[in-house]
């Protein structure tokens, strides 16, 4: 089962949506709040075997360096309404899962 950890720049609704669609997920606010550091997010994802979903390029760069670390879905879209983001993500999720199953560590979308 693919698990996700949704970073702070994205809405908690994305984590809830992923969970409702069969992918256990949590938002950084669920375990660390607004002041959660990138290191804490990285460590949490590694410990839980979760894929980080983020708009933060730093995680994609870190995934290139840390081959044993979590995979990263790097979302490269501007600010958008929550409903539009969820609709867009729903369309892309099947191809994201396929890429992860093939071993892709960094998936850039947007």
Q: How many domains does the chain have?
A: 1
User: Which residue, among 93, 69, 83, has the nearest Cα to 18 in the 3D structure?
Assistant: 93
Supply the pLDDT for residue 1: 77
Q: pLDDT digits over 79-90, tens only?
A: 889 999 999 999
For helices 82-101 and 12-20, give the axis angle rounded to 10 degrees.
60
> Which tens digits make up the pLDDT trace of 2-25?
999 999 999 999 999 999 999 999
**Residue 65 C-beta-side C-alpha neighbours within 13 Å:** 7
**Residues contacting 79, CB < 8 A, separation 6+:** none
- Cα torsion 40, 2, 104, 51 to 10°: value is -10
Tell me the chain's radius of gyration from C-alpha atoms.
13
Mean pLDDT over each residue of the chain, to the nearest integer: 94
Q: Where are the alpha helices (DSSP H) in 66-105?
A: 82-101
Domain containing 86 equals 3-109
High-pLDDT (> 70) share of the chain, %: 100
């Amino acid at each position: 089962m693919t698990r996700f950890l949704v970073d702070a720049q994205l809405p908690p609704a994305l984590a809830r949506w992923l969970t409702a669609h069969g992918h256990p997920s949590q938002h950084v606010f669920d375990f660390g709040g607004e002041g959660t550091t990138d290191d804490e997010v990285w460590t949490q994802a590694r410990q839980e075997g979760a894929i980080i979903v983020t708009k933060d390029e730093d995680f994609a760069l870190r995934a290139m360096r840390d081959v044993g670390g979590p995979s990263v879905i790097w979302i490269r879209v501007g600010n958008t309404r929550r409903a539009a983001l969820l609709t867009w993500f729903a369309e892309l999720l099947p191809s994201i899962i396929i890429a992860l199953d093939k071993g892709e560590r960094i998936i850039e979308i947007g």
